[in-house]
Structure 1
Amino acid sequence: MRRADRLFEIIQILRRRHGATRARDLAEALEVSDRTVYRDIRDLMASGVPIEGEAGIGYVLRAGFDLPPLMFTEQEIEALVLGARIVESLSDAELARAASDVIAKVEAVIPDRLRGYMSNTALLAPPGQFMEPLRFDLAELRRAVRQQLKVHFRYTDIIGQASERSVRPLSLAYFGPVWLLAAWCELRADFRTFRLDRIEDFHVEPERFRHEPGKTLTDFLRRERPWTRSALNRPDDEEAG
């Protein structure tokens, strides 16, 4: 988490909680050390944020403090809310919580005249929509994409043939009712797309990979247009066996 994001999150946590919040609780929520929280609190107070309290007792945000309002149009709010609700409905629990937090953060800082509109917008993404079930934690695959970590899994294609794969995950895309992974496959020494619902025995490897010419997401997208067709319709997601 960037420091600017962490400082903003401290303010949001203090805003939402009643009573004093201990530095230890803030540290656990932000996954940092107590010492980092003390330093951040000190810097926020020095910049004029009305935080009261002290180490060992806890901190509170003085009532009435607000961040400068974000300027959104009604259409921008609709796009934000609908996108977040779709993520809540069709992703893993970790990303769903993050989407909910996004809505809460924006509601906390936008002008009053738009807050009610945001809460009552009629664009919905009802839960329980059909999605092919996954046998592993999607959050772990997202982490691998984000941190450039190789992943290993057993893959069964549409005609029932199984193979072991070690890949460089490049991108995830949802095309209802399936999630797709675009990756550089080390077994085939080429780009491949995989349906996540056909993946088993998934684990993230500790080995990081560097983006090499010819093996990047940009290279993949140049070659596969539209790449979804290959993943959804090919017998086993491979062009050359």
Structure 2
Amino acid sequence: MNRIDRLTAILIQLQSKKVVKAAEIAERFGMSLRTVYRDVKALQEAGVPIGAEAGTGYYIVEGYHLPPVMFSQEEAAALLTGEKLMEQFSDHSGQKQFSNAMHKIRAVLRGSEKDFLESLEENIAILKPIPPQQEEFPNRFLTDVQQALGGQKVLRLEYFSHHSAETNQREVEPIGVFYSGNRWHLIAYCRLRKDYRDFRIDRIKKLSATTTVFKKSQHPSLQEYLKQQDKNPERPHLIKVRFSHHIARYISEQKYYYGLIAETREQDYIEMSFLTGHIEYFARWSLMFGNEMLIVESDALRQQMKEMIAQLHAHYL
């Protein structure tokens, strides 16, 4: 990347967040902090109003905006793919909002990129079985939940509990959402039960945001919460395992069915993070990999594996 392109990219990055650390810019472009300071100074000298907070980072002065951003064909194709994924993996509210955003993006594309997308659109499909949606569950609350998360607003739910087969009213303080098992889940502190609960968003019958604001600092982050639930068999489990490169290539599709949420490729292994509500189910899948898989994080999975291996040993004796 030449310097002009890098300066433009840095400017876009500065507009993407309220404050951007110099280390974030350095990591993104693989350069030294000294080069970051020099590039930011060049942007300031060019008239871009960039402020700095000691020990915090850089920010764009309120009111300054770039002209409409241009996209390459590759970036436009990636956005189109994202739109196709949102059509299948979001709820009705998310689909609508992403579609609106795509219309705005298409509006700033050059003519050649628009023609490229039109020719490409019919040749991309995301095939996913979608179970029939019952009328009493609108499945359109994901956007409202995200708004409440950003504003720390208490939510009022009318929720159907599959366990008790009953519908009840809840007031909850949301701490995060995640996608697992083909469903979106809301983790929130339930004021009725005085504990954290996992609500499937597609089982919410009615939802409204109240004007009550709660303190975010009173709750763990979503990642902290998920780690805390590792030993509870009724809650989602965060699992980290390492596969040898030899085995990893054979599970390129299977891993998504078991709740893959992150993947890191190292020289000697591939580390994968999964989110699952069924430790035994995950353990039975893991058994087939033998010593080609190493459990990095999840005491519950380790214990389950030990018990299953002992049962197999006793069986074949």
TM interval, short-chain normalised: 0.5 to 0.7
| Superposed structure 1 runs of 4+ greater than 6 Å apart | none
Q: Map residues 1-241 of structure 1 onto 2, 5 A cutoff.
A: 70-74=70-74, 76-121=75-120, 122-125=123-126, 129-130=130-131, 132-133=133-134, 134-135=137-138, 137-138=140-141, 139-160=143-164, 162=166, 164-175=169-180, 177-224=182-229, 225-226=237-238, 228-230=275-277
Provide closer, same or farther for how the CA distance between residues 69 and 113 of structure 1 changes in structure 2, counting only shifts above 3 A.
Answer: farther
Contact 1:78/1:123, CA 8 A, preserved across alignment:
no
TM-score scaled by length of structure 2: 0.43
Contact 1:149/1:207, CA 8 A, preserved across alignment:
yes
Provide closer, same or farther for how the CA distance between residues 137 and 170 of structure 1 changes in structure 2, counting only shifts above 3 A.
Answer: same
* Segment of structure 1 superposing worse, 202-211 or 130-139: 130-139
| Displacement of 1:207 | 0.5
- Measured on the aligned residues, the alpha-carbon RMSD in Å equals 4.0
CA distance in 1, matches of 2:197, 2:95: 27
Contact 1:132/1:177, CA 8 A, preserved across alignment:
no
Provide closer, same or farther for how the CA distance between residues 216 and 95 of structure 1 changes in structure 2, counting only shifts above 3 A.
Answer: same
CA distance in 1, matches of 2:151, 2:176: 12
Alpha-carbon displacement from aligned partner over 1:109-129 (angstroms, at most 9, x marks no partner)? 334433322223222247994
User: Of the two, which has the highest radius of gyration?
Assistant: 2
Provide closer, same or farther for how the CA distance between residues 101 and 137 of structure 1 changes in structure 2, counting only shifts above 3 A.
Answer: closer
TM-score scaled by length of structure 1: 0.54
Matched residue type, 1:123: I
CA distance in 1, matches of 2:275, 2:225: 12
- The total of aligned residue pairs comes to 171
Contact 2:93/2:140, CA 8 A, preserved across alignment:
no
CA distance in 1, matches of 2:93, 2:138: 16
CA distance in 1, matches of 2:125, 2:70: 23
Task: Give the structure 2 partner of residue 11 of structure 1.
Answer: none
Unaligned runs of 5+ in 2: 1-14, 17-62, 230-236, 239-273, 281-317
Contact 2:180/2:276, CA 8 A, preserved across alignment:
no
- RCO (CA 8 Å, sep 6+): is it higher in 1 or 2? 1
| Displacement of 1:182 | 1.5
| Displacement of 1:169 | 1.5
What's the % identity of the aligned pairs? 22
